[in-house]
Structure 1
Amino acid sequence: MIELKDITKGFGDKEILKGVSATMESGKVNLIIGASGSGKTVMMKCIVGLMKVDSGSILYDNQDFTAMDHRAKKEIRQQIGMLFQGSALFDSMTVEQNVMFPLEMFSKDSLKERKKRVDECLERVQLKDAAKKFPAEISGGMKKRVGIARAIVLNPKYLFCDEPNSGLDPQTSLLIDQLIKELTQEYNITTVINTHDMNTVMESGDHIVYMYQGQKQWEGSNKEIVFSKDQQLNDFIFASEFLRDAKEMRQLDMFKDSKWKDQLEEQLKRDGKK
């Protein structure tokens, strides 16, 4: 898992992250959500080491990433897979070559072994038939799946996704969400997603960190979120009348499940302390 301990980050006189502490859990889809300017993108960049925190600690499986030297950080980064918002595929390379790229950079396996691994990943994202195509010849959803295949080709322990559903139609977005969730559970990956997509929040959010004005405002699961009394969170998640009605329907369904009573009482107690 990944732990954030009281991290701060600012630019000049502007403080972006204000003492954020949170835990990203293994085998779960961990979401970072919040309005534009809330600090979620800076937070993700700090976690992966693209930005250096001003203070606080970031721990990967109890190893202090912020205190590591360059060589140790490189070892951690080799365990990280990244899915970029725009897929970031190489236009001049085929689908197969794009997925192969991390293996050529970091793997010492033979060419035969590397090709076998690429085939496995493309088959897992249902793109084996598109291996010889170029990015310009496939759809946006297929490009996202190529990006996922490339992100998992090195068997990462940690997977970071920046707006994985950006620019996709609702049906394709659901397929991408389901694929990421399945891979997370299959390989026990610590998956961290930066998203604005409310379908992702409600369907895939095993663990959610809601950022508000540079601070962690709320933390919980997609099941707990429908009972939250946090006003800022509710205004953000359930902004429309349609979503407020959907929230009420979800609450009614969950009330029928007795196992949620104890968890609901604990969540309401946590919210009541804020």
Structure 2
Amino acid sequence: MIEAVNVFKSFEDKEVLKDISAVFEKGQTNLIIGQSGSGKTVLLKSLVGLHEVTKGEILFDGRSLVGLNSKQKKALRQEIGMLFQGSALFDSMTVEENVRFPLDMFTHMTEEEKRDRANFCLDRVRLENANNRLPSEISGGMQKRVAIARAIALNPKYLFCDEPNSGLDPRTSIVIDELIHEITEEYGMTTIVNTHDMNSVMGIGDKIIFIYQGEKYWEGTKDDIFHVQNKQLEDFIFASKMFRQIKEVHK
């Protein structure tokens, strides 16, 4: 479980996050949604420790991120998996080498153990027989699955995903969403996904936090979202014709 407690974040004189409190539960896919510039990316980066909060606390199963020393922060980072927006694979490394990278960095496994773990993770994301290919030789969807395999290589307790469907076609996006959801439940991870994709919200939104102008304006589940009485959230959700039609069905 990850908790944000009265979190503020400012850059110079600009306040980007304003008194945000939220609980992200273990074994659930927790989504942060909001328009561009709403503060959702700053919130995600603050939760993962890439931004130091101006005021407030971030707790990882009761451990305050603010109070950790450098050794404790390093230990915590080994419990965190990160899926970046653009996959962030190393172009000069093979698929297997990309997945093995955190194992090389943070473990004392033997070469055989690292190879076995990389193969296990690649099998889990349904990417058999791609070990020796370079990122440039596989599709965007396959690259995203390699990035997921790398993110789970250290068997993390916490998984952060920044716009995981960016640049993917709708069918591949569904595959990636379902994979993230399956892995979250299977390994009992605390997963936080930053997204503006309403298909993801309706597909895997166990819990949803809506950020508007740096504040938490709503939270609930995908089942609650069609009954919400919140103009800013309604404007965000029903911006597309398709979701306006879905809303009519749910009335």
Give the TM interval when normalised to the shorter protein: over 0.9
Superposition deviation, residue 248 in structure 1: 3.0
Q: CA deviation at 1:234?
A: 0.6
In the TM superposition, structure 1's runs of 4+ consecutive aligned residues that sit over 2 Å from their partners are: none
Residue number in structure 1 paired with 2:90: 90
Paired amino acid for 1:59: L
1:88 Cα deviation (Å)? 0.5
Shift in Å, 1:52: 0.5
Q: Deviations for 1:72-121, whole angstroms, at most 9, x for unmatched residues?
A: 11111110000111100011110000000000001111111111111100
Aligned partner of 1:131 in structure 2 is 131
1:242 to partner: Cα distance: 2.3
Match of 1:223 in 2: 223
Does structure 1 residue 32 correspond to structure 2 residue 32? Answer: yes
- Could you say what secondary structure the match of 1:128 adopts? coil
Q: Which amino acid aligns with 2:3?
A: E
Q: Which stretches in structure 1 are left out of the alignment for 5+ residues?
A: 253-274
Task: Give yes or no for the alignment of 1:67 onto 2:67.
Answer: yes
Aligned partner of residue 114 in structure 1, secondary structure: helix
Q: Which moved more, 1:73-82 or 1:233-242?
A: 233-242
- Partner of 1:159, secondary structure, is strand
Instruction: Give 1:246 shift.
Output: 1.0
TM-superposed deviation, 1:67: 1.4
Structure 2 gaps of 5+ residues are none
SS at match of 2:91: coil
1:190 is the counterpart of 2:177:
no
In the TM superposition, 1:1-274 aligns within 5 A as 1-249=1-249, 251=250
**SS of 1:129 mapped into structure 2:** coil
Greater per-residue helix proportion: 1
Name the CA distance, whole Å, in 2 between partners of 1:217 and 1:67: 28
In the aligned structure 1, how far is the partner of 2:231 from the partner of 2:241? 15
Shift of 1:239: 1.2
CA RMSD of aligned residues (A): 0.9
Q: Deviations over 1:206-265 (max 9, x none)?
A: 00000001000001111111111111101101113321111232x36xxxxxxxxxxxxx
CA distance in structure 1 between the partners assigned to 2:244 and 2:22 by the alignment: 27
Mapped partners of 2:196, 2:118: distance in 1: 31
Amino acid at match of 1:207: K
CA distance in 1, matches of 2:157, 2:12: 34
| Residue identity matched to 1:130 | A
| Residue identity matched to 1:147 | A
One-letter identity of the residue aligned with 1:35? Q
- Take 1:47 and 1:20, find their aligned partners in 2: how far apart are those partners? 11
Aligned length: 251
